[in-house]
Amino acid sequence: MPSRIPSALHPLGYFSSGISWTVTANGSSTVDTTQLTIVFSESITSLTAPRFTIIAGTGSATRGSLSGSGTTYILNVSGITPGTITLSLANFSTYIFAGSPKVVTLLGRSRIDFISAVQTGSSGNPTASTGIILTFSQDPVGLVATNITITSGTGSATRGTLTGSGTTRTLSISNVTQGTVTVMIANFGSFTPTPTSRSVTLYGSMPAVDLYYNGVTNTALVGSWQSLGGTITFQSTYIAMSISAGRESYADAVVTSANPINLTGYSSIEVTYSGFHTSWGRVFIRLVSPAISNATNNYNPSGTISLNVNAVNSSAQIRVGVDAQGQSEDGDNSQVSITRIRLIP
């Protein structure tokens, strides 16, 4: 028979006293506690979850629903941190519970802080990122590459191998598309990462971009090519200049992009040409501002010239033209065919 204490105030003449109870947590060192099993020394009715209070200690948990009847109940818990908590049960109705509160040890994976994820291998375009450095609050023992997932956002990448020691690991990546990705880490070893994911911005290899190719202007970038002298029919793929007959003379013809073009991340501007009809002449590339120019090709009748703009972190209008000096036949109109103008990463 359960222990009773006489009471003249209670309608039944007594109330329950000293009902003992025990609490057992499920889980293990690799499986988080999700349930607390509560066993009473006598049958209890009208027991509800809000009568229990969880107070964090070295561990913590969020109280969930309660199920069961009679002497055995199960209190669900979530969001646990392994360690000790205090579970108290309030007296109610005719029930007085002995030994409340109880200290309970929650089981599960140790929490490890996933501090940051940062790209490595690139200081920006045009070099692509080669890896992601993962930093933790302690040595992530047991972490392997297959525990890690890269989810595409505005960017993407293919997961490679994992290396490193101490509190950092480097995940190699390939097939990088510039933009943000999310690095997600599943439970591993005896750890649960907190948070489970981090966002990181990756740099991708920039493609070469045509500003002009085989008669087609990239109007989105260039706007249009504007004439600054000479006889210009650039949209027909050539720049022509008239040279006076029978003597040496000098002429030039120039086209300039209507729009300033963002050169950040590009290493050079490249011009391909052919059909130079003068004895002496140069195809040149210039920037309007900052003032950078290149006028080299050793007077070859065809070829490619390049202007290094690697240090230009700004926008500039681009000029392409021809300097010509030579002996011309009567009525000769010398010309050069510009095949392609493009930005090289």
Average pLDDT, the chain: 82
Instruction: Residue 286: give its domain's CATH number.
Output: 2.60.120.260
Instruction: Residue 71: give its domain's CATH number.
Output: 2.60.40.1220
Number of domains in the chain: 3
Number of H helices, E strands in the chain: 1, 30
The CA distance from 191 to 137, in Å, is 12
Of residues 138, 247, 120, the one with CA closest to residue 188: 138
**Secondary structure class of 140 (helix, strand, coil):** coil
Rama region for 229: left / alpha / beta (φ>0; ψ in -120 to 50; rest): left
C-alpha atoms less than 13 angstroms from C-alpha of 345 in its C-beta half-sphere: 13
The answer to whether residues 18 and 93 belong to one domain is yes
The answer to whether residues 217 and 337 belong to one domain is yes
* CA-CA-CA-CA torsion sign (338, 339, 343, 345): negative
The answer to whether residues 103 and 17 belong to one domain is yes
**Which of 172, 202, 232 corresponds to the end of one domain?**
202
**Which of 144, 173, 202 corresponds to the end of one domain?**
202
**Which of 86, 108, 130 corresponds to the end of one domain?**
108
Query: Residue 334 is encoded by which pair of tokens?
Result: 């010398």
The CA distance from 310 to 294, in Å, is 14
For residue 20, the enclosing domain spans 4-108
Q: Which residues of the chain have pLDDT under 50?
A: 1-16, 235-238, 241-250, 297-298, 327-333
The CA distance from 11 to 3, in Å, is 17
- Residue 45 sits at the vertex; the CA angle it makes with 41 and 48, to the nearest 5 degrees, is 105
The answer to whether residues 319 and 268 belong to one domain is yes
The answer to whether residues 190 and 117 belong to one domain is yes
The answer to whether residues 313 and 223 belong to one domain is yes
pLDDT of residue 295: 52
pTM of the full structure: 0.53
The answer to whether residues 294 and 260 belong to one domain is yes
pLDDT of residue 110: 87
The answer to whether residues 149 and 197 belong to one domain is yes
pLDDT of residue 312: 77
The answer to whether residues 69 and 146 belong to one domain is no
Read off the pLDDT of residues 88-132 as tens digits, 9 standing for 90 and up: 999 999 899 999 899 999 999 888 999 999 999 887 666 789 999
